[in-house]
């Protein structure tokens, strides 16, 4: 006889549950689109996040096409990791992999930089003198950090004399952590800022102000630490509702804000920063700073007919593409993805993830002789770290609307642990899946 | 996130743990589940004595899972910022508790000496 504390359960019942579970696990996978046969020659300039992701997608969708990717860089950098490296949470190697390991089979990699683009003749020339013709050109060059525009700056000083440069690369981000770590031990005055140009991840300078405050608090040195943030314009963030939230948080954390201050020079010996303001240049002393230079298009784009023809975007050299289709407005067989695109938002890897399917569909539509309805809405995502362990998952579009991925579940303007978990654990994995054309 | 399909999720998990470790974990989880089903079918009931002992280890599994996630993400209980964070902590705890309970139950069932009287 059965023991009374045994719970009866039928064999059939369990098998039924197992079958149900398996059926559930099998749903959700979308049907793969059929491959399109084409002899098109597609040239992609740049093998960063945007170039690699679109290459992976096109290889999956096209049969017979020649896909060439042009980039001299042997290292692939996971740039969203730089803030974590500069916060002492990850080593420099966290962001470093090789270009080769992400490039899909079926793509030819020319490991030289592009030197010249002739969109009239549908041809590019590399630094090695190689001439490559194309039917479609995809610009994914990324942008250029214009260090020369920062008077007095010397890259060799990063990590010493209280100088940081998180954007410069993983090694410099690590060196910046060394400088921040010392600064928050010793105390003093941190002066942080952002450039007046378009920039990638406009949230990163703000994150670093939050992290400076957080480390000082954790170490008990906050009383000896001043944190100043100099905004380039009249706001901290371009999206008004986010700007207000950050303004409130800065106020709460005691981060002092100056508006309309554009950094132009640094004197590492005297520890003086010079800012251009509407009232003329002003100088301020510092014990710690994170130098972020103006950001412009790479020379090869600026020296081509592809940038905007006037205004600030013309001067900075961003490719003149339609903000919805990412297609060049004057050269119909040229597209831009990622930082190089002259569109109002979207210099983040998260935006790349949304731009890639749009460009992919328009390019395939051209080959197939149909019209594509695909449009990019300006989606940009910024996991705004407000301290180690918490972040705000901020997502917005061209209209400055918040477009949360998990509405009603993850509040975009709240400092949450779950948003931090996503940044720490899921983001790099999602990024890598995107590089493989799977996300 | 634009589209969250099962395929995307699997791709993300593969990147998170590396394909080998991820699928090894899936296989181990599947094996424990199959082993649980096996002993269930073999015994035709849930053995209350095993279950009671297994359940005693549940809090250990829950706390271990939560501390592990906090450790790998450089965070702690003080970072809980809203209701969703409490829910996530509870879910991680339930997963850890459930996992260890299953494992301990199955281990006991397998260690039972064949032919020995089960009361």
Q: Which pLDDT band holds residue A220 (cuts at 50, 70, 90)?
A: very high
ipTM: 0.85
**Which value, in Å, is the radius of gyration of the alpha carbons in chain B?**
18
The answer to whether B81 contacts A353, with C-beta atoms less than 8 Å apart, is no
Over residues A353-376, the pLDDT tens digits come to: 999 999 999 999 999 999 999 999
CATH assignment of A147-295, given 3.50.50.60, 2.102.10.10, 3.90.1170.50, 3.40.50.2000?
Answer: 3.50.50.60
Residue A104 is inside which H or E element, if any? none
A59: left (phi over 0), alpha (psi -120 to 50) or beta: alpha
Q: Which pLDDT band holds residue A117 (cuts at 50, 70, 90)?
A: very high
How many residues would you count in chain A? 439
Q: How far apart are CA A187 and CA A182, in angstroms?
A: 8
Over residues B48-100, the pLDDT tens digits come to: 889 999 999 999 999 999 999 999 899 999 999 999 999 999 999 999 999 99
- The pLDDT score that the predictor gives to residue B119 is 45
Considering only CB atoms, B48 lies closest to which of A3, A14, A439, namely A3
Over residues B2-25, the pLDDT tens digits come to: 566 788 888 888 888 888 999 999
Q: How far apart are CA A262 and CA A233, in angstroms?
A: 8
Q: Please say whether the beta carbons of A300 and A307 come within 8 A.
A: no
- The pLDDT score that the predictor gives to residue A20 is 39
With 0-12 CB in 10 A as exposed, 13-18 as middle and 19+ as buried, what is A336? buried
Q: How far apart are CA B22 and CA B4, in angstroms?
A: 19
Q: For tokens 């040239």, what's the residue? A: A43
- The pLDDT score that the predictor gives to residue A31 is 46
How crowded is the C-beta side of A37, counted as CA atoms within 13 Å? 0
Over residues A37-46, the pLDDT tens digits come to: 999 999 999 9
A11 chain-B contacts, CB cut-off 8 A:
40-41, 44
Over residues A388-419, the pLDDT tens digits come to: 999 999 999 999 999 999 999 999 999 999 99
The answer to whether B1 contacts A3, with C-beta atoms less than 8 Å apart, is no
Please name the residues in contact with B6: beta carbons below 8 A apart, sequence gap of 6 or more: A25, A27, A28, A29
Q: Please say whether the beta carbons of A317 and A301 come within 8 A.
A: yes
Work out the minimum CA distance from B67 to partner chain A, whole angstroms: 13
Cα dihedral B15, A438, A207, A235 in deg (nearest 10):
180
Q: Which pLDDT band holds residue A33 (cuts at 50, 70, 90)?
A: low
A192 phi, psi to nearest 5 deg = -120, 155
Angle at CA of residue A74, ends A68 and A78, nearest 5° = 100
Work out the minimum CA distance from B79 to partner chain A, whole angstroms: 5
Over residues A249-258, the pLDDT tens digits come to: 999 999 999 9
Q: Please say whether the beta carbons of A337 and A140 come within 8 A.
A: yes
CATH 3.50.50.60 domain position(s) in chain A: 36-81+96-143+297-368, 147-295
The answer to whether B88 contacts A417, with C-beta atoms less than 8 Å apart, is yes
How many angstroms separate the Cα of B117 from the Cα of each of A1, A126, B36, B112, B114? Answer: 12, 81, 21, 10, 9
Q: May I ask the CATH class of domain A36-81+96-143+297-368?
A: alpha beta
Encoded tokens for A332: 């119909």
Q: Is the pLDDT of residue B117 over 80?
A: no
Q: Is the pLDDT of residue A105 over 90?
A: yes
Q: Is the pLDDT of residue A303 over 80?
A: yes
How many angstroms separate the Cα of A210 from the Cα of each of A170, A389, A421? Answer: 20, 12, 17
- The pLDDT score that the predictor gives to residue A102 is 97
- The pLDDT score that the predictor gives to residue A2 is 39
């Amino acid at each position: 006889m059965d023991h009374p504390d045994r719970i009866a359960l039928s064999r059939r019942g369990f098998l039924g549950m197992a079958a149900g579970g398996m059926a559930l696990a099998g749903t959700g996978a979308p049907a793969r689109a059929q491959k399109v046969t084409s002899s098109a020659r597609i040239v992609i300039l740049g093998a960063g996040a945007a170039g690699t992701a679109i290459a992976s997608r096109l290889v999956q969708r096209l049969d017979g096409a020649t896909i060439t990717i042009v980039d001299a860089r042997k290292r692939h950098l996971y740039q969203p990791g730089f803030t974590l490296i500069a916060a002492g949470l990850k080593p420099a190697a966290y962001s470093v992999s090789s270009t080769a390991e992400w490039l899909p089979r079926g793509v030819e990699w020319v490991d030289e930089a592009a030197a010249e683009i002739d969109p009239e003749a549908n041809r590019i020339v590399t630094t090695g003198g190689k001439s490559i013709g194309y039917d479609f050109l995809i610009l994914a060059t990324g942008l250029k950090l214009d260090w020369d525009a920062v008077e007095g700056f010397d890259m060799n000083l990063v990590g010493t004399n209280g100088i940081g440069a998180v954007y410069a690369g993983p090694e410099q981000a690590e060196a910046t952590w060394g400088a921040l770590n010392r600064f928050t031990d010793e105390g003093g005055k941190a002066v942080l800022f952002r450039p007046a140009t378009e920039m990638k991840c406009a949230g990163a300078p703000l994150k670093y102000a939050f992290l400076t405050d957080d480390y000082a608090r954790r170490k008990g040195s906050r009383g000896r630490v001043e944190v100043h943030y100099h905004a380039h314009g009249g706001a901290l963030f371009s999206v008004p509702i986010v700007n207000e939230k950050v303004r409130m948080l800065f106020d709460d954390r005691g981060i002092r804000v100056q508006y309309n201050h554009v950094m132009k020079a640094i004197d590492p010996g005297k520890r003086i920063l010079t800012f251009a303001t509407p009232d003329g240049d002003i100088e301020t002393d510092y014990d710690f700073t994170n130098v972020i230079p103006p950001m412009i298009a790479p020379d090869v784009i600026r020296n081509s007919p592809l940038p905007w023809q006037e205004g600030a975007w013309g001067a900075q050299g961003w490719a003149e593409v339609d903000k919805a289709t990412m297609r060049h407005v004057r050269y119909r067989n040229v597209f831009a993805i990622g930082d190089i695109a002259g569109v109002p938002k979207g210099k983040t890897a998260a935006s790349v993830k949304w731009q890639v399917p749009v460009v992919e569909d328009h390019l395939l539509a051209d080959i197939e002789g149909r019209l594509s309805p695909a449009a990019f809405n300006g989606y940009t995502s910024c996991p705004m770290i407000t301290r180690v362990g918490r972040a705000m998952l901020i997502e917005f579009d061209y209209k400055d609307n918040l477009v949360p991925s998990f509405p009603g579940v993850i509040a975009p303007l709240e400092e949450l642990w779950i948003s931090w978990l996503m940044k720490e654990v899921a983001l790099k994995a999602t990024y890598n899946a995107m590089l493989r054309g799977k996300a | 996130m634009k589209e969250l399909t099962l395929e995307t999720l699997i791709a993300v998990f593969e990147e998170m743990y590396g394909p080998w470790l991820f699928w090894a974990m899936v296989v181990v989880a599947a094996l424990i589940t199959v082993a649980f089903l096996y002993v269930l079918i073999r015994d035709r009931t849930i053995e209350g004595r095993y279950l009671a002992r297994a359940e005693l280890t549940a809090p250990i599994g829950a706390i271990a899972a939560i501390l592990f996630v906090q450790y790998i993400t450089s965070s702690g209980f003080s970072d809980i910022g809203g209701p969703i964070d409490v829910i996530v902590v509870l879910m991680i705890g339930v997963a850890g508790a459930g996992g260890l309970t299953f494992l301990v139950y199955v281990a006991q069932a397998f260690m039972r000496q064949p032919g020995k009287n089960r009361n």
